[in-house]
Structure 1
Amino acid sequence: MTISVGRLKAVKNAAIGNPKTKAALAQDPVLLAALIDALRDPALAAEAAHVVASLALGADAALHALLVAHAPRALLFALAAHCEPHTRAAVARALRVVAASTADAVGPALWGLARTPARELLAAAAATCDGLCAPEALDIYLPLLATPSAAATAIAQLLGTLLRTPAQRTAVTNWTPSPASPEQTTRSRRGWEKTAAAATPVVPVVARWLVALLDAPGKNYKMDEAVLYALAALAQENPTVAGYLGQSDTLPLETIITLAKSRSAEVQVAACLCITHTLRSLPPRPPPSSHPHPRHSHSHSASTSYPHAHMPTIHSLVHAHVAGGGSAHAPPPTLEETGVRTVLNVVNRMLSGAPAESPLVRMRACFVLHYLVADDLQLCNGALDRGCLDGLGVLILALGPTEPAPPEWEEAEAGVTQALREVHFLISSRF
């Protein structure tokens, strides 16, 4: 079956926002085969990618049909084959949507309640997630992060939604670009080169590229948000990436803390999540005398990882802030303390009644608070002193039913509202 651009556009328009139509289209193997073939054609690939992205959203039957038809592999081949910027960006966005939908099916959930897909979809989605983290796939889409582009933004979004497990984070953290020539793989190092290489700290290539995108000329809020979520996904329970962000000579965490004050609420939440996962995953510090940054020289312990090594100082700073001041002779705050206070300030402002913030932003801010204080008594006390629990209570009460209950309560509650209720119980259980 041959397919035209007009036919692809008609399929896309029929499928957008219509799960029943998507499920029906998924039952047409001839159409799916033609759709996969169209990804190989430079003239059709962009429009075919739009259709794949639409089908991958909202209908489990359509997603399963795409996975069975090997759509992710076809998208990877198209990403490697097509260099035209518009086409490459469209294919990268489709790959991001497919990756996010499959990761949502496998879990764990990023925000809110995890859904329970059919067994057939779960098996196919798990295999797809493993395949997208395999070296052969990483070699295709990760190099797009090396330069700013619409495709780079889409790949950053992909990482922010795909990476859910330690094994997936490790695969991306350990990935290195393929050598430019065979000579680079066969040439042996001289003795002094081996010594220098061994003494140099390992810098994750993907994390370094993502940090570079934060300083890219002409970047926008969308790229900042995508990169911050990608870094957050990489840093979660990953001391290698967390150490690079928070303890390396370049200290990218300083830039991320600055982005928590962005004009965009979405960027603020993404930055706070990145700060939180970084701080909660920092490896043990070296002895204070050997640390290159004087402002960290008063850290309490070299053998204890964050947050416990720094919580007494953070806790005292929180109390001083609440009291309206502190000692003039107190040492300057460490980068970790500044990060914690920044997160608490941003989250508390979003919880305490800024009606301009969207429900989605507020829900994610609640999850940031949950990740920050989980299993740490002093961080819980710090959040309590800052009034975060009061703001959360006001927000939850605003979600409650009125008397009498409005008719719309008979319908299914919005997913964002369900997630807000869930995270309220999660946070309440920490205090």
Structure 2
Amino acid sequence: MTVRTITTTTLKRLKNSVIGNPSAKLALAQDSAFIHSLVSCLNHPPPSFGEAQGSQDDIRIEAAHVISSISYGSEEALASLLRANALQAFLDALSTVKPLDPPAFKPAFARGLRILSCAIADVVGPSQLGLRTWSAQLRAESKAALNYLLEFECLDTYLPLLASPSTQTSISIAQLIGSAIRCEDHRNAITDWLPLADRLKEVKGKRGWERPDMVNSTAPSRQGGWVVRNLITLMQKKDLKLQEAALSAIAALAKDNPPVAGALAKASPDRDAIVPLSFVLSLTKSRAPDVQLAASLCATHILRANASNVHPASVDQIAALNVIHVVNRMLASETPQHRIKACYTLYYLVTDEKDLCQEVFDRGTLDKIASLVKSITPLEKGSEWEEDEPESTISLREAALTAIATISLFDHEIKRDIADNLQLLPTIHVSLTHRNVGVRYAASQCVRALSRAVAVIRTNLMDTGVGLTVFQVFKKPDEDPRVTYAALLAVCNLVNDFSPLRPIFVEQGLLPRLMQLHEVGDTDLRINVLFAMKNLLRMSKIPLKRTTMASLTWPLLTELSADPEVAIQEQAFSILRNIAGDEPGVDFVFESMSEEALATTIITGLDSPHEDVTREAAFFLGNLANGSKAQQDLIFSHPHILQSMHICMADAKSETRCPIVSCVYELLAANPKRRHEFNEVGIISTLRHMCDMTSTVSVSPGGRFSNHHHIHTEADVEAARGARKVLDLLDRNGTEV
């Protein structure tokens, strides 16, 4: 596409031609010279060429509209705009608007900045409504652009416009915040920002030891900061579009942000002031569906962030019910976008909240989502489904499956209902191979959730072929990494000892694929690759152990036990623990590792400052204690092992002390004469203290793990019971201790 002359008329014609026309947007994006000219028009429009007076102003406005129209056009269009420095051009245009300039300037430039910024944020992620795929180069360019947008000087340009007398301008800036803010650093940049006058006031008022929001009701940082306060004001306006935009912005700033969420949930010292959260909840009953949904998402993020700030599992159940009611209503809407937003709002509300998952199940929400996703998913593949399916339907399927996976993660009753009563497995099955990456990802997450139930694995996932299909998704070499990761999570569950799919997966190339993914170097992938191997080795026979270690190798496993990443260390010791789970396994360990390497590995684990690592190392050592007397001698030939055992027994949590105590028992049962070595390092004395522990205080209130709760638990009782068992053994053998 070539546009030789830029005038108001040609720009209007161009704007109308590209709206809703992806091919026209692509053609325009490929004309880089024109894109640069178009961006230049925002601040340096060409001469009027005889048009009516003031047409240069009109050109600037129309250029902003055209750029807005192509921002969401395609990867090529967005890349062209970034390389033409369109983001900087919009900021320059906004910063140079004069009082006598046309009133349409600010709304047009603010809208253009908002649309372009949102397109950039969608590339950077994390996604708000479904997964998309972008090139690495565009992601890098977009990340740099988004970081620039959040720099202080840029914030000074557009954030004051929240208080603009132009409603259109305020809406655009609120929408920008709601869509472009995706991470903690960006939230902090927005909430910490203050206008120049307030910045000066804050500097003058600080005395170092005071919290301004506590001692001064007019402090700039009160109620979440200047931006949040102004959004609360906008939220109370009668304009529905303004309410929706303000609610979306507050939601973005409150998400995973306990200080802001806490400020929004508490009452103000001013009796006449509203409690923001209460007002948000009142808007869930608005006559406008878009406002209801925005209020529900806003309330969700406030409730979840405030709960994490107050106490785990303390989400306000009554307030959450308001959101669930909106979701149930919107799932019956005829507008796909409303149903998509309802599913994602539910996802944000119930993620990792077992009680809320049960609540939505009890209120029939899962039934509604199941009926919805089945109604839009044909079980027989065909060209119509693969090629002609509307994007809105694809996005709705992804959203529904995402919600189903989240709701079903914890409760076995819910999993069985999905598999047996709601008969969703055929829908999940066909979605695993859908052409859309988001649908495949969501379906894989559903399999991951369902595969946490033993009965579902043994029957439904096996009989329907879903387990084998997700394994093929996992093995696919050119699959999207996000889908591969989700499929890996499902495979981790499907290789447990109770799964009939375990030997099939091994035969079909499980181990080479796991090692291939481990070599990618991504930390999350490495952790879950090792998690899969740990489950694969659980209660396994020696042939499978040998096959697994032929792929993983002993040198690599030893290296992983000292990896800088704590979660990697934990999984490595879990693998060692499962290998040594029976006598042949213990023999395999001693056969494969030198005495020095084995002792060093044990000491490294027991001496770790991280409880999770120490616990797994303790279980590994406990399993080794079941070996032969010659193998048990390893522990006594390295005094540091005994010293480390004593430290763990005294300082660690009960979950770690129990296997250490069990280890001591096995060693003494095999050779009571070893009592002197135990006595010399203080283990026998500590065993007596464990038997004498009170109901409220743990054995040792100090040491490496002194931050754990000193509360009498079932594990404490088990550890004390084990200690008494050891002492009784010594008494029966006539041993003085």
TM-score by length of 2: 0.48
Could you tell which deviates more after superposition, 13-22 or 67-76? 13-22
Which residue of structure 2 lines up, in the alignment, with residue 199 of structure 1? 215
Deviation at 1:80, TM superposition (A): 1.6
Which residue of structure 1 lines up, in the alignment, with residue 24 of structure 2? 21
Please list, as runs of the form range in 1=range in 2, the aligned pairs for 1:350-429 lying within 5 A after superposition. Answer: 350-351=330-331, 354=332, 356-401=333-378, 408-429=384-405
Distance 1:20 1:278, change over 3 A: same
Which residue of structure 2 lines up, in the alignment, with residue 61 of structure 1? 76
> Is residue 235–residue 244 contact of structure 2 (8 Å, CA) maintained in 1?
no
Which residue of structure 2 lines up, in the alignment, with residue 314 of structure 1? none
AA in 1 matched with 2:12 = K
Which residue of structure 2 lines up, in the alignment, with residue 164 of structure 1? 182
> Is residue 117–residue 180 contact of structure 2 (8 Å, CA) maintained in 1?
yes
AA in 1 matched with 2:121 = A
Which residue of structure 2 lines up, in the alignment, with residue 179 of structure 1? 197
Deviation at 1:425, TM superposition (A): 2.8
Local SS of the residue matching 2:196: coil
Deviations 1:29-55 (A, max 9, x none): 332232122111534221110011112
> Is residue 103–residue 164 contact of structure 1 (8 Å, CA) maintained in 2?
yes
Deviations 1:215-265 (A, max 9, x none): 23xx42211111111111111101122112112424111111111001111
Could you tell which deviates more after superposition, 23-32 or 384-393? 23-32
Distance 1:344 1:88, change over 3 A: same
Distance 1:392 1:39, change over 3 A: same
For 1:117 and 1:210, how far apart are their aligned partners in 2?
32
Distance 1:282 1:47, change over 3 A: same
For 2:393 and 2:280, how far apart are their aligned partners in 1?
28
Deviations 1:304-335 (A, max 9, x none): 15xx135xxxxxxxxxxxxxxxxxxxxxxxxx
Larger radius of gyration: 2
Local SS of the residue matching 1:281: helix
Match of 1:241 among 243, 260, 280: 260
Which residue of structure 1 lines up, in the alignment, with residue 129 of structure 2? 111
> Is residue 57–residue 101 contact of structure 1 (8 Å, CA) maintained in 2?
yes
> Is residue 265–residue 357 contact of structure 1 (8 Å, CA) maintained in 2?
no
Please list, as runs of the form range in 1=range in 2, the aligned pairs for 1:222-261 lying within 5 A after superposition. Answer: 222-249=241-268, 250-261=274-285
AA in 1 matched with 2:171 = T
Match of 2:97 among 82, 86, 90: 82
Match of 1:52 among 67, 72, 79: 67
The structure 1 segments of at least 4 consecutive aligned residues displaced by more than 3 Å after TM superposition are 188-198, 405-408
Local SS of the residue matching 1:85: coil
AA in 1 matched with 2:139 = L
For 2:135 and 2:405, how far apart are their aligned partners in 1?
31
AA in 1 matched with 2:69 = S
Could you tell which deviates more after superposition, 67-76 or 389-398? 389-398
Please list, as runs of the form range in 1=range in 2, the aligned pairs for 1:97-176 lying within 5 A after superposition. Answer: 97-112=115-130, 114-148=131-165, 149-176=167-194
For 1:210 and 1:402, how far apart are their aligned partners in 2?
46
Distance 1:44 1:193, change over 3 A: farther
> Is residue 15–residue 69 contact of structure 2 (8 Å, CA) maintained in 1?
yes
1:280 aligned to 2:304? yes
Distance 1:278 1:132, change over 3 A: same
> Is residue 344–residue 383 contact of structure 1 (8 Å, CA) maintained in 2?
yes
Which residue of structure 2 lines up, in the alignment, with residue 324 of structure 1? none
> Is residue 255–residue 302 contact of structure 2 (8 Å, CA) maintained in 1?
yes
Could you tell which deviates more after superposition, 336-345 or 122-131? 336-345
For 2:257 and 2:379, how far apart are their aligned partners in 1?
44
AA in 2 matched with 1:50 = H
For 1:349 and 1:20, how far apart are their aligned partners in 2?
37
Match of 1:344 among 292, 308, 324: 324
Local SS of the residue matching 1:102: helix
Deviations 1:324-363 (A, max 9, x none): xxxxxxxxxxxx3432111111111222xx3x44111011
1:268 aligned to 2:285? no
Distance 1:57 1:423, change over 3 A: closer
> Is residue 236–residue 243 contact of structure 2 (8 Å, CA) maintained in 1?
no
> Is residue 26–residue 77 contact of structure 2 (8 Å, CA) maintained in 1?
yes
TM-score by length of 1: 0.81
Local SS of the residue matching 2:182: coil
> Is residue 244–residue 251 contact of structure 1 (8 Å, CA) maintained in 2?
no
Q: Compute the RMSD of aligned alpha carbons.
A: 2.6
Deviation at 1:406, TM superposition (A): 8.2
For 1:180 and 1:343, how far apart are their aligned partners in 2?
36
Match of 1:304 among 311, 319, 323: 311
Distance 1:74 1:389, change over 3 A: same
For 1:90 and 1:122, how far apart are their aligned partners in 2?
26
Deviation at 1:101, TM superposition (A): 0.9
Which residue of structure 2 lines up, in the alignment, with residue 214 of structure 1? 235
> Is residue 26–residue 73 contact of structure 2 (8 Å, CA) maintained in 1?
no
For 2:168 and 2:362, how far apart are their aligned partners in 1?
42
> Is residue 236–residue 277 contact of structure 1 (8 Å, CA) maintained in 2?
yes
Distance 1:190 1:282, change over 3 A: closer
Match of 2:10 among 7, 11, 15: 7
For 2:399 and 2:30, how far apart are their aligned partners in 1?
38
Could you tell which deviates more after superposition, 88-97 or 412-421? 412-421
Deviation at 1:153, TM superposition (A): 0.2
Which residue of structure 1 lines up, in the alignment, with residue 574 of structure 2? none
Please list, as runs of the form range in 1=range in 2, the aligned pairs for 1:312-331 lying within 5 A after superposition. Answer: none
> Is residue 147–residue 213 contact of structure 1 (8 Å, CA) maintained in 2?
no
For 2:164 and 2:188, how far apart are their aligned partners in 1?
23
For 2:171 and 2:388, how far apart are their aligned partners in 1?
33
For 2:378 and 2:33, how far apart are their aligned partners in 1?
49
AA in 2 matched with 1:413 = E
For 2:181 and 2:388, how far apart are their aligned partners in 1?
29
Q: Which ranges in structure 2 are unaligned for 5 or more consecutive residues?
A: 46-56, 269-273, 409-737
> Is residue 213–residue 222 contact of structure 2 (8 Å, CA) maintained in 1?
no
Between 1 and 2, higher relative CO (CA 8 Å, sep ≥ 6) is seen in: 1
